[in-house]
Amino acid sequence: MEIKKRHDMSKSEVRKLFENVKDIYGEDPISYKKGRYEICETDKDVSLILLNGEPYLLLKDDRLMPSLKLFLDKDVRGVRNKVIVDMGAIRFVTNGADIMRPGIVDVDKEITPESFVIIGDEKYGKPLAIGVAMYSGKEIMEMDSGKVIKNIHFVGDSIWNLEV
């Protein structure tokens, strides 16, 4: 991933960003932290919001999503909008594959189509990827096969390894 444009965000832009986060998610899934906020346009179809040089949020198709780095020290099994995959799916997810229904062992039933989803592993609950749901959580649970989540950002990808 190559950064095309990069600039500091003003305090009012940061304030508006966090107002949008609350509007979108109802509650604040990420908290405001003091530091240097920058917005980066990339050669991919995603923009990044950096906090002190680290990817903090992703902006894709006017949709804000947290980056994986926000969840590094968390067990995602207790987080909203989560999907847990079996151990056999891990290598595929961390290579950028979309999430298929057979590899899923648990789904947050409150997931709505087009919402961001955190994908975690079954054994440790560690975050593996951020994706966009193609179906509701209830629909996913009722399915037996097929692609259900589009993988947007995963451990080891160009966002994860971004050096700015």
Any idea which architecture 71-154 has in CATH?
Roll (2.30)
For residue 147, the surrounding DSSP H or E stretch is: strand 147-154
Query: Where do runs of H (alpha helix) occur along the chain?
Result: 11-25, 90-93, 137-142
Q: Return the SS3 of 3.
A: strand
Q: Assess if CATH 3.10.450.120 describes domain 3-70.
A: yes
Query: Tokens 């709505």 label which residue?
Result: 112
Domain boundaries, the chain: 3-70, 71-154
Please give the torsion angle defined by the CA atoms of residues 107, 17, 46 and 86, in that order, rounded to the nearest 10 degrees.
Answer: -20
Res. 38: pLDDT tops 70: yes
More confident residue, 82 or 43: 82
Question: Range with the lowest mean pLDDT among 29-33, 62-66, 70-74, 84-88?
Answer: 29-33
What pTM does this model have?
0.83
Residue pair 134/127 in contact (Cβ under 8 Å)? The answer is no
**86-116 residue pLDDT tens:** 999 999 999 999 999 999 999 999 999 999 8
Gyration radius from the chain CA atoms: 16
- Average pLDDT on 114-119 reads 92
- Average pLDDT on 132-157 reads 95
Residue 111: what pLDDT?
A: 94
In this prediction, residue 164 has a pLDDT band, given cuts at 50, 70 and 90, of low
Angle CA(132)–CA(100)–CA(86) in degrees, nearest 5?
A: 105
- Average pLDDT on 146-160 reads 93
In this prediction, residue 44 has a pLDDT band, given cuts at 50, 70 and 90, of confident
CB burial of residue 78 (10 Å; 0-12, 13-18, 19+): exposed
